[in-house]
Amino acid sequence: MHDKNQAPTPDRSSKDEHLESYRSDASGQPMTTNMGLKINDANNSLKAGVRGATLLEDFMLREKINHFDHERIPERIVHARGSAAHGVFELYEAIPEFTKAGIFNDTSRKTPVFTRFSTVAGSKGSPDLARDVRGFAVKFYTEEGVWDLVGNNMPIFFIQDAMKFPDLIHSVKPEPDREIPQAASAHDTFYDFVSLTPETLHNHIWVMSDRAIPRSLRMMEGFGIHTFRMINDRGEAHFVRFHWKPVLGVHSVTWDEAVKINGADPDFHRRDLWDAIDAGQYPEWELGLQIIPEADEHKFEFDLLDATKLIPEEMVPVKIVGKMTLNRNPDNFFAETEQVAFLPTHLVPGLDFSNDPLLQGRLFSYRDTQLSRLGSVNFEQIPINQSVTAAHNNQRDGHMQMQIPKGKTAYFPNTLGGGCPYLTQISEGAFESFTERIDGNKIRARSESFVDYFSQPALFYRSLKDWEKAHVADAYTFELGKCTYKHIQQRMLWMIKQIDEALAKEVAEGLGMDVPDTIDQPINQAIGADADVEKQQPGEKKIYLDKSAALSQTHLKSDTIATRQIAVLAADGFDGDDFTAMSEALKAKNAMVKIVAPHGGTITCSKGHEHEVFAAIMTTESVLFDAVYVPGGKQSVEALLKKAKYKKFVNEAFKHCKAIATDGAGEKLLDATFAGDHKDDAAVFVDGSPKDFIKAIAQHRNYDRMEVAKMVPA
């Protein structure tokens, strides 16, 4: 079995070798036109005299301007803002009893992957820390073809049928009359839709939770969302749901931090991913499977085909089968991250779809949207999208055809081409769709088994810790407070009440409203004009499980502090011995130690050694760091006390429940900030051991502090 704890060497994969011929490097090369014609002047257009009109025959100008005019492709309707990286997937153990897919049966493989993370609602120019779902899409370049696992960082989706997807997105996008707000769901049109569409409640409460504002793209889970099928070589099928479990644990920031990070560094997530890989701190996720025999399809109190429902891990454990490691940043953002095209229809033998109506609609939508974005049926020939296995078929021509097909025939069957390309037997690796008996009337309707909108949102909320619940209540209060129509707020309060009455009451108090006992009309009337509305009304929420530990982020922590950003507040004269002991202990755990000084350049410690400054205090913010350390040294601390922003820096770290450590005179900065309120805090260490500080950082936050921290001025 592969050692789970050993990161693979970032060697060039087969996909990298395949791409090599497409890479270009202008170092030491003459400038040319696109056809290789050498250029002697790239600064002046061809004119009739030095002050004359530009000539139509200036093909160099026309080529340059024409290319510039077309440099941008239309951004994605959703998931427009993305970050990505190359890596490998390695299998821990073969699972032939479930699937014949080679990627799940050959433990010697290092399958190349390209993974793209993204926000959903905002434009390409929106900030990283919007409260939003995050896309989590993985392209596996397998030896049998490309497999795209296109999911999110939440295990469910807002809607049950793809027919509603345009409505969902139109509601959350900027309102069309004003084109505001950008990358935000806190507005009337979104809540008008949600309050009329109760199937959205489960995904919606996840978005109101801390899952919607991750600390890092490297510290969030990923899910395939839908129920898929795995098929073994005997033709037997199992249902499966896919999970990505981050080795670094699952961590988030607070809303207050997110707002400030968006101002201090709107590229925070993108920069974090790039810098970690650049530093050799490769992010890793283990791939887990929830596998359900076909015979057990109907044994649950929810429908496996309903994308708004998750399968609690207590009911179906997650089987860990392999690990993905992202170990190389893209060479070019546009060519790779922007042009990559993910399609759920990209499958390999041994995998297949289910009849999930949301998934079924996605199978149509993704190809359609890539054609719109990339402009041609040949988008799969773009290097980042190409399979590592050669493609051979009779599809020809089209805009931006990049291949040169040889031969007389482009049809099948044929004799003039020797019958090629020929068909392959299933036993030789050809794709086979699962043989499923389908009987039923042609009908436009929703299954009554999908009509349970409150049970799983309630399970999610019950499973959260008190501090997580408080964040959910704050998020609902903020979002609904941005709505201007009282009837929308009242409908939403009634809906929240169906999840949890105490939660609804807390949100209502924040809005200065009462929770309504009833609403004027039955919910879910939008299911269809001729639908039996009574049959679409949910009953009381079911409690088939009191709590699911995996739904709380406290269950998903990690003991590592690798890549955590530690701010060292110091000035000339700081204690060199204190700093060296703490810095070496932190770096030994792969944390990033960064000095924040009164000025840029370098500062000198008590030992007379110069130390490089990461940032001047006026150019950075506390919210960009995970923990704070103040070394001793009277001269240094006195210099810090002269800058008011250092008190603000420490105050915000305390307010956001982060670990803080000081040595010697460093405590004076805490005393000046808190007047002693920090004395009994479990994550504030005065002359404490590096070991204790490291342990507190690994816990991410001391949320026992939250009630106290609310009273600390920002």
Residue 252 one-letter amino acid: S
E strands present in 551-665: 565-569, 592-597, 602-604, 610-612, 615-616, 627-630, 659-662
CATH architecture of the domain with range 562-709: 3-Layer(aba) Sandwich (3.40)
Residues of the chain predicted below pLDDT 70: 1-14, 525-529, 675-677, 707-714
The pLDDT value recorded for residue 594 is 98
Rounded Cα gap, residues 258 and 130, in angstroms: 7
Rounded Cα gap, residues 437 and 197, in angstroms: 32
For 397-407, give one letter per residue: b (16+ CB within 10 A) or e: eeeeeeeeeee
Are the beta carbons of 258 and 471 closer than 8 angstroms? Answer: no
The pLDDT value recorded for residue 535 is 77
Q: Which tokens go with 606? A: 């008590």
Q: How far is CA 237 from CA 350, 353, 405, in A?
A: 9, 11, 38
Rounded Cα gap, residues 687 and 121, in angstroms: 46
Q: Which tokens go with 195? A: 């309050």
Q: Is 439 helix (H, G, I), strand (E, B) or coil?
A: coil
CB neighbour list of residue 536: distance below 8 Å, 6 or more residues apart: 446, 448, 451, 524, 525, 527
Rounded Cα gap, residues 286 and 283, in angstroms: 10
Active site residues: 79, 152
The rounded Cα 255 to chain-centroid distance in angstroms is 17
Helix residue ranges, H only, 527-615: 576-588
Rounded Cα gap, residues 223 and 213, in angstroms: 16
Are the beta carbons of 455 and 541 closer than 8 angstroms? Answer: yes
The pLDDT value recorded for residue 2 is 44
Q: Angle, nearest 10°, between helix axes 165-172 and 357-374?
A: 60
